[in-house]
Structure 1
Amino acid sequence: MQLITKSLFITGLLAPLSACDKPDTATENKAQVPVFEQSEIKTGGGITHKRLYASYLYPGEKLSSKQQLDFWTGFSFFRDPWVAAPSATGNRDGLGPLFNTRSCIACHTAGSRAKIDEVGHILPLSLVVRLGSKDANITGVDPIYGGQIQPRAISYRLTDAAMIKKSPYTDNVGEAWLDKRYAKIPGRFADGESYELLKPSYQLTKLAYGELAPHIGLSVRLAPNIFGMGLLNAINTADLLSQEDINDRDGNGISAKYNRVPNVITGATEVGRFGFKAKQPNLHQQVAAAFRDDIGITNTSFPDESCTNTQMACNYAAEYGGHSLADLEIPDNRLDFTVTFNELLGVPPARNLKSKTVQAGRTLFYQLQCQQCHRPSYVTDENYPVKELAKQSIWPYTDLALHDMGAGLADGVHEFSANGREWRTAPLWGIGLQKYKTGQQRFLHDGRARTISEAILWHGGEAEPAKQAYLVLTKQQRDALVKFVKAI
């Protein structure tokens, strides 16, 4: 979109925004803003939480006794730490040989995002370092480190003389440390109020097996919220693809694009839904990949350890654990329980949506065209196999599509058809409760934003006009918009 087009777009927004605290006073506002629906309060339809809990880790309301039992069984595999094999704890051994953390909950505190790692030279925990090609013409992952840095390892040393001659790396060790720094970027709104953004820089240090390949880049990510994922899984693919507009045929400056990714079980190419670049096509694969990549737990979807051929001690450590392809580290029944737990996680109800300030913020949300990417609602697939998730009116505020978010948020890394400037639209439901439930709130893919306002100010690319319109709002209007996002 050319600069003059952006200017005209923003100018056109400003006139109705001056009356945002009176959303029904102008006919043009009524045309832009949909009528408030009572269903907006029950964001997760029938599996919205009954009330506000101390964490997100509760099942939805309308579940059977059997489903609730399965949910809490799956929760135990999500919560409890895994240990190295062989161990007397047979149900939970198999950790590593390389891993980020020992349990799912360590990165997903209260079903949300764990406390972000400190600044400096760190062994990351909640931050995950993905590796990918910076060159669209070169596919694949790093030949030595694979697709993700695992900073921790179970202890194992090669002792066979013949093996030692073949490899200069005799110990199984964590792959790298991370040096994380922030630069402060000051700015001002049109009314003179100042703000400050934190721009991160990341560098791998103590690389255990030599340097990364020249074409490989880093994509640092803070573990995401996991509540409501079953409902996102239940959206009909056709409803998603109806929003795709890669070449911006309607001329609105928004080019929704869906990642095309492999289903590792069937081999088919499907629409990506999960992950910051929509790398996984369904919830089962998302959970199975996290087990293998983050904890080192092999399964039928990902039966191979994350060790590469260079990491011989890692491969021998895996054999020492006593697991084979026929004896994977998490059998299907336990993996299925964990998937069921994730699938049936409820969503908090919206709060104070009918208040005057929140309704003014709702009006602004639509007038700034936020709904172009953060699509408010869907009705889930009526044929979804879990009937409690089928045909539900839900309000996640995402299109699950990839969008160019500008140079400021770019990681330069490609994942399948997602390029280095593209990110999947994050769901907004429930994010206003993060501090209440976890004691911390961090936003965007790497947690750089400390507030919702900061997250908006990082938007660029396709969202640049909306950000520019946000910059010229009054403080009262900005507060109203943020309160709406917190309320949903």
Structure 2
Amino acid sequence: MKFSQISPNAIATAVVAAIAALSAGQAMAKSDDASTALPASLPTKPGGGMTMKRISTRSYIFPGESVKGKAKLDFWTGFSLFRDPWVIAPSSTKDRDGLGPLFNARSCVACHQGGSRGKMSQHGEHLPTSLLIRLGPIADRYATEKYTDGHNYGGQIQPRAIKFNHGRLEKSPVGEAWLNLSYKTIDGEYADGTPYQLQKPSYQLTRLAYGEISEGIAPSPRFSPNVFGAGLLDAISEQDLLAQEDADDTNGDGISPRYNRVADHVNGSKGVGRFGLKAKHPSLKQQVVAAFRDDIGITNNVFPQESCEPAQLECFAASKLGGHTSVEIPDKLVNLVMAFSQHLGVPPTRNPQSLRALKGRQLFNQLGCASCHTPSYTTASNYPDNNLANQTIWPYTNLALHDMGEGLADGAMEGQATGREWRTPPLWGIGLQQAVLGEARYLHDGRARSIEEAVLWHGGEARPAQQKFKQLSAQERNALLTFLHSI
């Protein structure tokens, strides 16, 4: 056909079609509500000035870009204490000895590889590292009886023990237990017929060295969480957190965020829990020094007593042989570890202008995910560290407790947190876990092998959002997951 034979109407139609084709990729950037357009980009610096200078697929261990001078030197010095293994005392390296007598790992990085999560435990019977087992009272017993850590295993199973080659002890301490881990496959499908599989874990403590676990005590598996960005979470004002509390669901949205009121051992008071998978600790410092004592066996001025229980006589005997006249990590070294922990930056956003990711953020809001995963805050202007104060951040968490349903319940209480409640984890940076660690695991016990599986495990208060996710088309699911991998 010659051009002169094409009618003006046909030309107009072709032009409109061409324009439509050129802008097809932009169609996802329009809201379902035609009056609302998506922004041109996701926030590129989710940690404000504490965002890492560049994206890394090797490690999360970089300071925030605003950290300079002595603060940066202290960061890397603190990192050496985070990275290097602790040894049995007495030794020639007094600043690094005091391991045990009972412990989970020899270093922080053993559980937080690259500043992220650790390697997931294997199936079968083994000595776990990144997957630890806490112990807590079941709800029914707690309602009628005051719980203490006076049973044979304290608040946490420590599977390893130091060994001596000298004759100063008749018997060396013995690790408390092994873990037998197995999974059951659960099949399901989306509304469009696409199948999926979940794996439900089963945990059994074996080779118990100090008798049976006391009646009324439940095991609670915990997979080591990401630690990057923790300084910024510490800098969110308590007032901003509590403004989100709605324990009785007075607004009728089906979401009941509440905060764990816990002992503040640093200040000798009560505080609002924000760290730990059940929000056990009110501050980053308490989280750090509790991990030193409970996970590595390193006493400090906040937790000066060894984690030996009355039945563990060899543990007490071994603890007296180290040669330390006071605690095993003094405040000057704790402060360096804190400098590292506070200034560990947040990865920049990946592909912030991706139209698919922008559509995914819209779906994130429409499904109700933001009701618990609060997108943004401005940190407290009076926070003592200027690098962390007054920063606009995008962590996607309210740090509150939520009932996550029976499927994720462990039955163990921790403070005021029930056996069905978990703290909302931050979502920033999680899309890099596969690249950094070589594997990606999600949820409090690492059962989910992908972000998609983690969403599908949501129950309780989050079940309506999970059900909406299952109703999405494959294209919409892909958009939501692209967003979560990007932030």
Decide: shared fold, TM above 0.5. yes
Distance 1:387-1:217 versus aligned 2 partners, 3 A rule: same
Match of 1:368 in 2: 367
For the 8 Å contact 1:158–1:313, the answer to whether it is kept is no
Tell me, in whole angstroms, the C-alpha distance in 2 between the residues paired with 1:113 and 1:91: 26
The alignment partner of 1:136 has SS state of helix
Deviations 1:420-440 (A, max 9, x none): 000000100000000111111
Residue equivalent to 1:414? 413
Letter in 1 for 2:402: H
Q: 1 CA distance for matches of 2:423 and 2:364?
A: 19
Equivalent position to 1:95, from 99, 107, 113: 99
SS of the aligned residue for 1:388 comes to coil
Shift of 1:136: 2.7
Query: How far 1:140 moved relative to its partner?
Result: 2.4
The answer to whether 1:27 aligns with 2:33 is: yes
Please list, as runs of the form range in 1=range in 2, the aligned pairs for 1:464-483 lying within 5 A after superposition.
464-483=463-482
SS in 2 for 1:476: helix
Query: What is the match of residue 336 of structure 1?
Result: 335
Q: Secondary structure at the match of 1:293?
A: helix
| 1:381-420 equivalences in 2 (<5 Å) | 381-420=380-419
Give SS of 2:221's match.
strand
Q: What is the distance in 2 between the residues matched to 1:148 and 1:201?
A: 18
* Residue in 1 that maps onto 2:149: 141
Q: Deviation per CA, 1:368-414: give whole Å up to 9, x if none.
A: 01000000000000000101111000000000000000000000000
| Residue range with higher mean Cα deviation, 478-487 or 147-156 | 147-156
* Residue equivalent to 1:202: 203
Quote the Cα distance in structure 2 between the aligned partners of 1:26 and 1:421. Answer: 35
Find the aligned partners of 1:142 and 1:180 in 2 and give their Cα distance.
27
Question: Residues of 2 paired with 1:372 and 1:265: CA distance?
Answer: 31
* Offset, 1:156: 5.2
**C-alpha separation between the residues in 2 aligned to 1:331 and 1:100?**
21
Q: Is the 8 A contact 1:288 1:335 kept in 2?
A: yes
Query: Which AA in structure 2 matches 1:323?
Result: H
Cα separation, 2, equivalents of 1:286 and 1:247: 28
Partner of 2:51: 48
Root mean square deviation, CA, Å: 1.8
Contact 2:404 2:461 in 1 (8 A): yes
Cα distance change, pair 112–25 in 1 and its aligned pair in 2 (3 A)? closer
Correspondence for 1:461: 460
In 1, distance between residues paired with 2:318 and 2:165?
8
Query: Do residues 104 (structure 1) and 108 (structure 2) align?
Result: yes
Residues 229-244 of structure 1: pairs in structure 2 closer than 5 A:
229-244=230-245
Which AA in structure 2 matches 1:262?
A
Q: Distance in 1 between matches of 2:418 and 2:287?
A: 20
Count residues with an aligned counterpart.
457
> How many angstroms apart in 2 are the aligned matches of 1:203 and 1:171?
25
Query: Secondary structure at 1:289's aligned position in 2?
Result: helix
Of 59, 64, 71 in structure 1, the residue corresponding to residue 63 of structure 2 is: 59
Structure 1 residues 345 and 112, CA, compared in 2 at 3 Å: closer, same or farther?
same
User: Which amino acid letter does the alignment assign opposite residue 74 of structure 2?
Assistant: D
CA contact (8 A) 1:235 1:378 kept: yes
Query: Counterpart in 2 of 1:151?
Result: 159
Partners of 1:277 and 1:69 lie apart in 2 by: 33
**Matching residue's letter, 1:102:** R
**Partner residue of 1:446?**
445
What is the identity percentage for the equivalent residue pairs of Structure 1 and Structure 2?
55
- In 2, distance between residues paired with 1:61 and 1:157? 47
Name the aligned partner's letter for residue 156 of structure 2.
Q
Which of residues 54, 67, 83 in structure 1 aligns to 2:87?
Answer: 83
Q: Is the 8 A contact 1:98 1:153 kept in 2?
A: yes
8 Å CA contact 1:39–1:45 kept in 2: the answer is no
Spell out the pairing of 1:248-259 with structure 2 (5 A cutoff). 248-259=249-260
One-letter amino acid of the structure 2 residue matched with residue 339 of structure 1:
M
Q: Aligned partners of 1:328, 1:57: CA distance in 2, in Å?
A: 28
Q: Distance in 2 between matches of 1:85 and 1:21?
A: 64
Q: Name the structure 2 match of 1:220.
A: 221
1:179–1:204 Cα contact (<8 Å) kept: yes
Contact 1:186-1:196 at 8 Å conserved across structures: yes
Counterpart-to-counterpart distance in 1, 2:75 and 2:471? 46
Counterpart code for 1:411: D
Correspondences of 1:296-307 after superposition (within 5 Å)? 296-307=297-308
Distance in 2, Cα, partners of 1:142 & 1:447: 29
Q: Which amino acid aligns with 2:466?
A: K
CA contact (8 A) 1:23 1:29 kept: no
Identify which range, 267-276 or 138-147, moves more after superposition.
138-147
Q: Kindly state the Cα deviation for residue 141 of structure 1 after the two structures are TM-superposed.
A: 2.9
Contact persistence 2:184–2:200 (CA under 8 A)? yes
Normalised by the size of structure 2, how large is the TM-score?
0.91
Matches within 5 A, 1:177-188: 177-188=178-189
Cα distance in 1, alignment partners of residues 361 and 150 from structure 2: 45
Distance verdict in 2 for CA 1:417–1:178, change over 3 Å: same
In 1, distance between residues paired with 2:150 and 2:220? Answer: 13
Distance in 2, matches of 1:210 and 1:157, equals 26
1:117 to 121, 135, 142: 121
User: CA 1:21–1:183 in structure 2 vs 1: closer, same or farther (change >3 Å)?
Assistant: farther
Instruction: Find the residue that maps to 2:79 and give its secondary structure.
Output: helix
Q: Structure 1: give runs of 5+ residues left out of the alignment.
A: 1-19, 165-169
- Measured after TM superposition, the shift of residue 157 of structure 1 is 10
Q: Which residue of 2 aligns with 1:17?
A: none
Residue identity opposite 1:72 in structure 2 = W
Q: Deviations over 1:173-213 (max 9, x none)?
A: 00000010000000001111110001000010000000010
Residue segments in structure 2 that go unaligned for 5+ positions in a row:
1-25
Aligned equivalent of 1:288? 289
* TM-superposed deviation, 1:356: 1.2
Contact 1:21–1:357 (8 Å) recurs in 2: no
Asked if 2 retains the 8 angstrom alpha-carbon contact of 1:144 and 1:310, the reply is yes
Task: Describe the SS at the equivalent of 1:181.
Answer: strand
**Structure with greater Cα Rg:** 2
The two structures have a TM-score, normalised by structure 1, of 0.91
CA distance in 1: counterparts of 2:375 and 2:159, whole angstroms: 38
Classify 1:105/1:290 alpha carbon distance in 2 versus 1 (closer, same or farther; 3 Å): same
CA contact (8 A) 1:48 1:60 kept: yes
Contact preservation (8 Å) 1:359, 1:484: yes
Residue aligned with 2:408, SS? coil
For the residue of structure 2 that corresponds to 1:255, the secondary structure is: coil
Shift of 1:238: 0.1
